[in-house]
Amino acid sequence: MPAPLTPSQTVKYAASQSVSSSGIFIGVDKGYYKELGIDVEIVPFSSAAEMIQPIAASQVDVANADTGAGIFNALGRGLPLRFVADGNHTEPGHSSLGWMIRKDLIDSGAFRDLPDFRGKRISPIAKGSLVDSLAFRTIQKAGLQPTDVEFEYVTFADVLPAFSNKALDAAILTEPLVTTSVEQGLAVRWKGMDDLFGSFQSTLIIYSPTMTTQRQEIGKRFMIGYLRALRDYQAAFNEGKDLDSIIEILTKYTNIKDPAVYRKIVVPAFSPNGEMNVQSIKDLQQWYVDNGFVQTPVQLDEFFDTSYLDYGLSVVGRR
């Protein structure tokens, strides 16, 4: 382990109060970053879209952002961001995103399988988002046209009331709303995104221009702390090791304050080596281009920088 930086350096991390930031929250709470001479300042944001401009302007140093069209449009405008590690992903058995079908439609047999999306009112949550692409790809998988369903863009927070008053038939939700909608008897988790699409990248750890041009040593050390924390998360949720203490940490930093909820929800997956699914990001950019959300596609290989991961793995070892 390298000696701590002296004097210590502050890294501003753009965070939503989501489990997807576990690698930061666990590392902060356990002192992994502090041991390396890094003071992590958590800067709260309500959505990834709000993070794009601040990280492009190096007002924050690191972000864990989803792969909405806004990121690709920022790259197209020449903003020199770098994708450096897995922010969280979907893989078999780990999809915090799920297709939720209104319970009465399941109970009555009105919805059984893909073809039954025909004529249904569904919410892809937000236009030009990863969830939007998953909804459209589901309809395509069903052999249907977009005109065969009614798309209604209802925010995550408004989906459950819409299920309750039968204004909506189906939606892609994320945890803990997936579990809440089931427990309230409003919907059934029909399929996770892993069931339909296998493995794909959900969010990415992004370094700001200043981080990658002037603070590379800090960026390398930050990755050591991040990888150590990811492995603690994996050991807890996959093997049950120190699960109570990891849940206790997450209740401090995320918007899920009830420890019992963590034992019910499907938690997101992380690579123990921080590896990114580059091809799935390329596929997503192409979907945005095909559907008019991205006008100027970029050569994405230029924006993936694994040098920080390589350094971190040289210290903590590969798994």
Q: How far, in whole angstroms, is CA 132 from its chain's centroid?
A: 14
128 in Cβ contact with 70 (< 8 Å): yes
**Inter-CA distances, 275 with 73, 201, 205, 301, 313, Å:** 23, 10, 11, 14, 11
Assess whether pLDDT exceeds 90 at residue 67: no
pLDDT of residue 261: 95
Six token digits for residue 70: 């806004």
Q: For residue 284, name the pLDDT band (cuts at 50, 70, 90).
A: very high
Query: What's the confidence (pLDDT) of residue 46?
Result: 83
Asked if pLDDT for residue 55 goes beyond 90, the answer is yes
Q: What is the DSSP string of 96-152?
A: SEEEEEEHHHHHHTS--SGGGGTT-EEE-SSTTSHHHHHHHHHHHHTT--GGGSEE-
Q: To the nearest whole number, what is the mean pLDDT of the chain?
A: 95
Helices and strands (DSSP H and E) totals, the chain: 13, 10
What domains does the chain contain, in order, with CATH numbers? Answer: 9-91+200-316 (3.40.190.10), 97-196 (3.40.190.10)
pLDDT of the residue at 48: 80
Q: Is the pLDDT of residue 206 over 90?
A: yes
Mean pLDDT score, 195-208 = 96
Q: Is the pLDDT of residue 199 over 90?
A: yes
A 10 A CB-CB count for 205 gives: 26
